[in-house]
């Protein structure tokens, strides 16, 4: 449980990173993704200034119409001004529409590129990275976090210019129209500035709580759905609901705090805008009555005043978007900055490779100084079958990972036909090896595509041939549409035995020189095991085969059996030779034999 707690703390440490609302280093990298679409952003800026000009011109035009044409009864000029106003409305609409489309197109194109780059990079990361990072978190990076960045490109970078342009334009026009009225309109602004600073500090803390709570919810949902079988089997629905309820309430309180913060800020700014409008009407109205101010100017000022407060509200929202985007970009760049899996190998595997395997004084640890394999040495002759047995944690499965260079050894050498696998390109090395794991993973899609893993060079006939070879064709042909059957998530509609038969077919479809069976028959019923045992002789013919098994009855005919204990090779020999030694293998065999006898007696 301590390890689980440590993992949980580590998992949420990334979510709780302190990220500045604006980080020039991160922004520079984000702008790097946008560089190839500079012409679209330039067009958006042009459209932005055009729409802003149209927005700013409308109140000014009405003010002129009131003071110059309505008062004088100039019907022709008034009609002409009305036409100009209508053109400004239509032009503003078109400019805004085009700007939104151009920005959305650029933003989605950038997000598509970021998501593709992130996914491609994740496929190059070492397996150890996925051991330390939960699936739910990585999925969030590729989906939610990349989408959060879209707001930067569409709602911040360009539209921020619009808000600033409107503020600057309004102030210039207001000062040109009437200095005293402008100063009266801006009298309330110091209070707005103080309120905005308070809001910025408050929303940053609140948003961090929301982000952390949401990460906990995503993790809890992912874990509970994955473990639903265990939850229902052990009747833990209520306990899991109570735990999720606690996390959900924490998120609820965080979101409500965010809602209240925004709920207070927006009405407060709106109230201040009404106060400013009241001051404007009070003083401006008196001057209109006294004849020292034209009514059209007062009307224009009331319009421009509302235009000032709208960008202030927008700027507060953009601060929140920027905070979210900076946090999302920090997490995305953490993945992109993680070094990809290195491939020191330069050699290609020759077609004439026989498949002899040699482990020579191999030492390996997942964590520093916690050795899983200790000075392991053994040889698997080409075309022969070697079984590796031992208790859980002895290091059996690690041997398979090392053979495919999913992990790198710390000391020693692993050789294939005398070639150090460190000198071989990983792609070639992994094409050489076919693996059948105990926990078979099936992808969503057609059954035949699961066997060939979308490798176009493997024909439908070769897929069927591989399935017949391992006796999987029997249950596949009974399916309504056979090999075109859609596989549900992780192959949930197939039994454990059927999934492992499909894994055998998958391995054989790639025709490997080396075949690895990692606990491949441990979850199979007796009838299915008989089918596999019937196929094993054909499976291993002309292939170097390594079999890892707990059930010793499945490996009695292996050419050699290696006994691992606490990361060391303790015994080696044939089944009969090891029984004759009456050592560790003999003890394991006796223990399993007695267990089988007891089970037979109980069932009888």
Per residue in 553-588, pLDDT (tens digit) is: 777 788 899 888 888 888 888 888 888 888 888 888
On whether both 413 and 549 belong to a single domain, the answer is yes
Indicate the pLDDT class of residue 174, thresholds 50, 70 and 90. confident
pLDDT tens string 242-270:
888 888 888 888 888 888 877 787 788 77
Which residue blocks in 470-572 are alpha helix, DSSP H? Answer: 473-477, 496-509, 526-539
Nearest to 467 by CA among 457, 452, 455: 452
Residue 65: exposure state from Cβ atoms within 10 A (0-12, 13-18, ≥19) = buried
Indicate the pLDDT class of residue 595, thresholds 50, 70 and 90. low
On whether both 297 and 436 belong to a single domain, the answer is no
DSSP for 216-233, please give it.
HHHHHHHHHHHTHHHHHH
The pLDDT of residue 601? 44
> Phi first, then psi: what are they for 380, rounded to 5°?
-115, 105
Q: Which residue has the higher pLDDT, 153 or 71?
A: 153
Is residue 413 helix, strand or coil? strand
CB atoms within 10 A of CB 118: 18
- CA 33-36-42 angle, 5° bins: 105
The answer on pLDDT for 536 being more than 80 is no
Q: Are 482 and 361 in contact (CB under 8 A)?
A: no
Mean pLDDT of the chain: 80
C-alpha 392/C-alpha 549 separation (Å) is 10
433: enclosing H helix or E strand:
strand 433-436
The answer on pLDDT for 529 being more than 50 is yes
Domain annotation covers residue 98: yes
What is the token pair recorded at 145?
């976090």
For position 456, which CATH number holds?
3.40.50.300
Domain annotation covers residue 501: yes
The answer on pLDDT for 156 being more than 80 is no
Indicate the pLDDT class of residue 26, thresholds 50, 70 and 90. confident
What's the distance, CA 437 to chain centroid? 25
Which residue blocks in 124-188 are alpha helix, DSSP H? Answer: 127-132, 135-140, 146-151, 159-177, 179-185
> CA-based Rg of the chain, rounded to a whole angstrom?
35
Indicate the pLDDT class of residue 10, thresholds 50, 70 and 90. very low
DSSP 489: G
Domain annotation covers residue 280: yes
Q: Of the candidates 283, 306, 336, which is a domain's last residue?
A: 336
Domain annotation covers residue 343: no
DSSP 147: H
Contacts of 478 (CB under 8 A, 6+ apart): none
Strands 560-565 and 544-548: unpaired
The pLDDT of residue 19? 54
Q: H/E/C letters for each residue in 348-411?
A: CCCCCCCCCEEEEEEEEEEECCEEEEEEEEEEECCCCEEEEECCCCCCHHHHHHHHCCCCCCCE
CB atoms within 10 A of CB 554: 21
Indicate the pLDDT class of residue 3, thresholds 50, 70 and 90. very low
The answer on pLDDT for 178 being more than 70 is yes
Domain annotation covers residue 352: no
Q: Of the candidates 286, 301, 336, which is a domain's last residue?
A: 336
What is the token pair recorded at 153?
């490109």
pLDDT tens string 326-366:
878 888 888 888 888 777 767 777 777 888 888 999 999 88
The pLDDT of residue 596? 54
198: enclosing H helix or E strand:
helix 189-226
CB atoms within 10 A of CB 555: 21
On whether both 314 and 438 belong to a single domain, the answer is no
The pLDDT of residue 532? 67
C-alpha 13/C-alpha 129 separation (Å) is 16
Residue range 114-142: mean pLDDT, rounded: 82
On whether both 416 and 510 belong to a single domain, the answer is yes
The pLDDT of residue 531? 67
Residue range 157-186: mean pLDDT, rounded: 82
The pLDDT of residue 94? 93
The answer on pLDDT for 444 being more than 70 is yes
On whether both 445 and 312 belong to a single domain, the answer is no
Using the structure block, give the residue that is written with the tokens 């009838």: 527
For position 273, which CATH number holds?
1.20.1560.10
* DSSP 3-state percent helix, strand, coil across the chain (nearest 5): 65, 10, 20
pLDDT tens string 355-395:
888 899 999 988 777 888 888 899 988 888 898 888 777 77
Residue 476: exposure state from Cβ atoms within 10 A (0-12, 13-18, ≥19) = buried
Domain annotation covers residue 7: no
Q: Are 16 and 214 in contact (CB under 8 A)?
A: no
The pLDDT of residue 594? 59
The pLDDT of residue 409? 87
> Phi first, then psi: what are they for 512, rounded to 5°?
-80, 155
Determine the structural domain holding residue 474 and report its residue range.
Answer: 357-603
On whether both 272 and 403 belong to a single domain, the answer is no
On whether both 148 and 37 belong to a single domain, the answer is yes
Q: Are 210 and 255 in contact (CB under 8 A)?
A: yes
pLDDT tens string 257-313:
888 877 787 788 778 888 888 888 888 888 888 878 888 888 888 888 877 877 777
On whether both 225 and 255 belong to a single domain, the answer is yes
Domain annotation covers residue 2: no
On whether both 324 and 367 belong to a single domain, the answer is no
Domain annotation covers residue 417: yes
Indicate the pLDDT class of residue 1, thresholds 50, 70 and 90. very low
Q: From residue 8, how far is each of 13, 337, 353, 443 by CA, in Å?
A: 8, 22, 46, 28
Is residue 145 helix, strand or coil? helix
On whether both 442 and 515 belong to a single domain, the answer is yes
pLDDT tens string 405-417:
888 888 899 998 8
On whether both 381 and 328 belong to a single domain, the answer is no
Q: Of the candidates 336, 370, 387, which is a domain's last residue?
A: 336
Indicate the pLDDT class of residue 6, thresholds 50, 70 and 90. very low
Indicate the pLDDT class of residue 527, thresholds 50, 70 and 90. low
Q: In this prediction, what percent of the chain has a pLDDT beyond 90?
A: 2
Indicate the pLDDT class of residue 171, thresholds 50, 70 and 90. confident
On whether both 156 and 290 belong to a single domain, the answer is yes
C-alpha 134/C-alpha 365 separation (Å) is 21
What is the count of structural domains for the chain? 2
């Amino acid at each position: 449980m301590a390890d689980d707690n440590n993992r949980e703390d580590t998992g949420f440490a990334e979510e709780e990173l302190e990220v500045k609302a604006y980080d020039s280093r991160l922004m520079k990298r984000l702008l790097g993704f946008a560089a190839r679409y500079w012409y679209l952003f330039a067009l958006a800026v042009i459209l932005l200034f055009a729409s802003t000009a149209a927005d700013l011109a409308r109140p000014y035009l009405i003010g002129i119409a009131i003071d110059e044409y309505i008062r004088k009864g100039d019907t022709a000029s008034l009609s002409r001004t009305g036409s100009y106003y209508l053109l400004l409305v239509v032009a503003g609409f078109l400019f805004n529409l085009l700007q939104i489309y151009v920005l959305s197109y650029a933003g989605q194109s950038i997000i598509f590129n970021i998501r593709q780059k992130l996914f491609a990079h994740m496929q190059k990361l070492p397996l150890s990275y996925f051991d330390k990072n939960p699936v739910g978190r990585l999925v969030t990076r590729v989906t939610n976090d990349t989408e959060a960045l879209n707001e930067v490109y569409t709602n911040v970078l360009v539209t921020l210019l619009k808000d600033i342009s409107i503020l600057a334009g309004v102030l210039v026009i207001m000062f040109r129209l009437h200095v005293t009225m402008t100063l009266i309109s801006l009298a309330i602004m110091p209070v707005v500035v103080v309120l905005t600073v308070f809001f910025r500090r408050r929303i940053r803390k609140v948003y961090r709580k929301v982000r952390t709570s949401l990460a906990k919810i995503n993790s809890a949902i992912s874990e509970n759905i994955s473990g639903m079988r265990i939850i229902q089997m052990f009747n833990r629905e209520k306990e899991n609901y109570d735990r999720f309820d606690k996390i959900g309430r924490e998120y609820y309180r965080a979101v409500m705090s965010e809602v209240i913060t925004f709920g207070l800020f927006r009405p407060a700014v709106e109230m201040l805008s009404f106060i400013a409008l009241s001051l404007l009407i009070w003083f401006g109205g008196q001057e209109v009555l006294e004849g020292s101010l034209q009514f059209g100017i007062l009307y224009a000022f009331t319009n421009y005043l509302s235009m000032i407060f709208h960008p202030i509200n927008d700027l507060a929202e953009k601060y929140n978007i920027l905070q979210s985007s900076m946090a999302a970009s920090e997490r995305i760049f953490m993945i992109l900055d993680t070094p990809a899996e290195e491939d020191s190998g330069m050699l290609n595997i020759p077609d004439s490779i026989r498949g002899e395997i040699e482990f020579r004084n191999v030492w390996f640890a997942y964590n520093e100084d916690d050795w899983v394999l200790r000075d392991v040495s053994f040889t698997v002759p080409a075309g022969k079958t070697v079984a590796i047995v031992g208790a859980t944690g002895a290091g059996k499965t690690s041997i398979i990972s090392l053979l495919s260079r999913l992990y790198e050894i710390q000391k020693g050498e692993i050789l294939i036909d005398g070639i150090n696998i460190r000198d071989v390109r990983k792609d070639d090395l992994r094409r050489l090896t076919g693996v059948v794991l105990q926990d078979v993973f099936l992808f969503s899609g057609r059954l035949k595509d699961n066997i060939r893993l979308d490798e176009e060079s493997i024909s439908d006939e070769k897929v069927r041939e591989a399935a017949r070879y391992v006796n999987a064709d029997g249950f596949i042909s009974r399916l309504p549409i056979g090999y075109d059957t859609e596989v549900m998530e992780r192959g949930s509609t197939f039994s454990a035995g059927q999934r492992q038969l499909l894994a055998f077919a998958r391995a054989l479809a790639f025709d490997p020189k080396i075949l690895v069976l990692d606990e491949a028959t441990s979850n199979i019923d007796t009838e299915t095991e008989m089918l596999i045992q019937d196929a094993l002789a054909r499976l291993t013919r002309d292939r170097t085969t390594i079999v890892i098994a707990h059930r010793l009855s499945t490996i009695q005919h292996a050419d050699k059996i290696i006994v691992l204990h606490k990361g060391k090779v303790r015994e080696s020999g044939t089944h009969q030779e090891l029984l004759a030694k009456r050592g560790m293998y003999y003890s394991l065999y006796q223990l399993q034999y007695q267990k089988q006898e007891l089970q037979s007696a109980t069932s009888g």
